[in-house]
Structure 1
């Protein structure tokens, strides 16, 4: 008993080295989150300057999402086998080179090369950074605090990306949305090798090539098929073909993993309730709010006639709410457990989104957006932290790369999936007017969040409730 009391404070104290690790890894994560959305508002300016055809502008986003979502699981496992720190540093190098190419782009092809490189860097660095984060902090209060800060910055980065993109485009140039990464990358590459330790013991286990090919091909087909719906529609033969191919390849991947002597993603891990339910929740926690932000951006510009920069700034309140939710999440998880926190988070998110059903064509609509989206993003941040804690808990260090790769993959797929799905719902509901379509999309997003909360409450069983022995 005395030994436990002596050990416990040391496990819960964050040292100066811990803080430096947090600054490095969370700074990298924040930068990558900003990169996802920083060009959203700048897209028309980029298209005009570089000569993009109007129908090809979507590739500025799609070129980033294809490798970011399609290669994340592969690199998550590569990090386990060949070294997390090395992969993280390589990802930062790729990000720096890609950002330089994008910032100096003189043609659509050069710009898209930069975006593809940024997506590749995200697939490499994000699961490696998350693995380093979870293995640098013991499971319990310290890890929850670290993941809470990570969730806060991820949400803030995504929300602030559009604002930053608008400011940079208006005051300087869209090129600075790329070039601003360079000093941050240089600083990380200078300090990280001296601070980060690669704690996992690498083995000479062969990489599961058939599994890697099928899962990567399946995810790339899925992401491309979903992304193409915004331009081609869900009934397009290419979209249908990509989605069928994705399903076939992912089914093949499952059977390959059942028989592989060195599986890329061991089925025993995929069958864990924490991994399965955690990533299911991640799809809802990430996908619904990101899609709602897109719908509300259209509402503010198309219905209320706000300028793009003003529309972006309108989500500043949601960023503050997300930061509050992310900072509060570790304490809530410590007090009531991971599952109750996740259920509560999805419920708050769903109720916040539900408030958007009162949208109208009057000037008061801006206040509805400000309040309802802020409530939803508070729940979103609370859910982002709790689902990450659940999805990465109870696993040995040598499988943390896989767990964080799955978690990151869920995030990227959710970001890709949410917006076109709700856009299709909104288009279906526009028979009367655009506002009716937006309300229908809001109803679907709220129902998905609340249904997810109910399913997790009813069927997710975890006898430990993601608590450490010292907390029980």
Structure 2
């Protein structure tokens, strides 16, 4: 196999050479680091606030500023990677991540830390679609691409879980500042290896950049994520929440109208009209929203009902992390045997069953065993669905548009991560007791998984043949 080229027509050998393995190592390391960044600071927020000088009400901005930028700029950078070079954007993004993390680790004032988090979010938006499109353009549709996406999914899922555990350990044993400094070390290693093992890929033609489309979609995504995070922190009735979501809806309309009339649209509407793109990404939003919100709900249950410490609760989720890693490894085989659509449907159905078992923890004397088994099985199933979504969403897309396709997929992932918690939090808040609220939310969570499985199965008619 010619390493990291845009051609997918040539037959490729099954074995990977040293260069290809190093390229995979670089890309997967970057994916893992970016996933860790989403959760590594959560348990450290009180300590950060005390040392840097954040007020209690302002702590949310450490997470919100990162999430808004990471989601808001994703689609823009996904398309930019197609036009100006995925390798170049990957390297620049990793360098920005390293510099921003160094600034964040040394921050002594709140505004410096917020600026660092904004820069980390922008770096994440640049690196994630660039890394994914380097993966998808390096392997043809089929077994090798499925395996690469499976490994990427396993690594990213493990990163989300590892972030919570690692953040607690670093904060308790060393300093929260090492949650930033770890990124600096990773950035140096990646920048030392990546130039030698990654080949540049970009679209053959460079159309004019759709600036109006880029601005409107970035504002729409940023406002949507901001509104959802405000709903999570406060309530759906909060003016900041519904105001931001209303603005996001207006920007979406403006974006669609723009894409209809410009000569070189940022997102060709024909891509969004593809069934595999639309329904695959819907499955991705649901898969990420449901499983990340399960972590939120079980965190409430373990700490507020069972009296676990944050570190103890984080260690319980290590089992979930193991399940997601195994799911990422199992997914390519499942897709090869039953096809990507069936993998999504089966993954969501099994995830629903596992989630439903967690809704009745108070009825089991060995409730902790149920938590461990349920989260493990749910993690495996969730990753099968996620890899199925990634394969579906990037199948049939030209190499020239893989940055766009992976940008849309990354956007779906980040919206899913953001939307799940405020929805489930509202259900818990409507209940008189935490335990009853968590139980009700888990039932709703499982029902959403089943509904999504049915909808995706019917829309794609489960007629995809197994991958060879």
Deviation, structure 1 residue 461:
3.9
Taking structure 1 as the reference length, what is the TM-score of the superposition? 0.94
**Larger displacement relative to structure 2 (31-40 or 233-242):** 233-242
Deviation, structure 1 residue 51:
2.1
Once residues 206 and 338 of structure 2 are traced to their aligned partners in structure 1, the CA distance between those partners, rounded to angstroms, is 41
Structure 2 equivalent of residue 255 of structure 1:
257
Question: Do the aligned residues in 1 keep the contact of 2:20 with 2:197 (CA within 8 Å)?
Answer: no
Once residues 202 and 369 of structure 1 are traced to their aligned partners in structure 2, the CA distance between those partners, rounded to angstroms, is 51
Once residues 69 and 367 of structure 2 are traced to their aligned partners in structure 1, the CA distance between those partners, rounded to angstroms, is 37
Task: Work out which of the residue numbers 95, 103, 106 in structure 2 matches 1:104.
Answer: 106
Structure 2 equivalent of residue 21 of structure 1:
23
Task: Work out which of the residue numbers 336, 339, 359 in structure 1 matches 2:338.
Answer: 336
1:117 pairs with 2:135? no
Offset from partner CA, 1:247-281 (integer Å, 9 cap, x none):
11101211211221100000010111110011000
Equivalent positions of 1:27-426 (< 5 A) are 27-360=29-362, 364-426=366-428
Offset from partner CA, 1:133-180 (integer Å, 9 cap, x none):
101112111111111100000110001110111111111011101101
- What secondary structure, in the 3-state scheme, does the structure 2 residue paired with 1:37 have? coil
Deviation, structure 1 residue 16:
2.2
Offset from partner CA, 1:345-394 (integer Å, 9 cap, x none):
11111111111111229874322221211111111111111110110011
Q: How has the CA–CA distance of structure 1 residues 423 and 117 changed in structure 2, closer, same or farther, with 3 Å as cutoff? A: same
**Larger displacement relative to structure 2 (238-247 or 85-94):** 238-247
Deviation, structure 1 residue 88:
0.4
Q: Which runs of 5+ in 1 are unaligned?
A: 1-6
1:452 pairs with 2:452? yes
- What secondary structure, in the 3-state scheme, does the structure 1 residue paired with 2:359 have? helix
- What secondary structure, in the 3-state scheme, does the structure 2 residue paired with 1:41 have? helix
Question: Do the aligned residues in 2 keep the contact of 1:358 with 1:368 (CA within 8 Å)?
Answer: no
Question: Do the aligned residues in 2 keep the contact of 1:32 with 1:122 (CA within 8 Å)?
Answer: yes
Equivalent residue pairs, number: 460
- What secondary structure, in the 3-state scheme, does the structure 2 residue paired with 1:314 have? helix
Runs of 4+ residues over 6 Å off in structure 1: none
Question: Do the aligned residues in 1 keep the contact of 2:170 with 2:178 (CA within 8 Å)?
Answer: yes
Offset from partner CA, 1:99-152 (integer Å, 9 cap, x none):
001111112212222211111111000000000010111211111111110000
Taking structure 2 as the reference length, what is the TM-score of the superposition? 0.95
- What secondary structure, in the 3-state scheme, does the structure 1 residue paired with 2:436 have? helix
- What secondary structure, in the 3-state scheme, does the structure 2 residue paired with 1:200 have? coil
Q: How has the CA–CA distance of structure 1 residues 463 and 394 changed in structure 2, closer, same or farther, with 3 Å as cutoff? A: farther
Deviation, structure 1 residue 9:
7.3
Q: How has the CA–CA distance of structure 1 residues 288 and 16 changed in structure 2, closer, same or farther, with 3 Å as cutoff? A: same
Deviation, structure 1 residue 10:
3.4
Question: Do the aligned residues in 2 keep the contact of 1:339 with 1:465 (CA within 8 Å)?
Answer: no
Offset from partner CA, 1:162-219 (integer Å, 9 cap, x none):
0111111111011101101111101111111111112333533111111111111111
Structure 1 equivalent of residue 442 of structure 2:
442
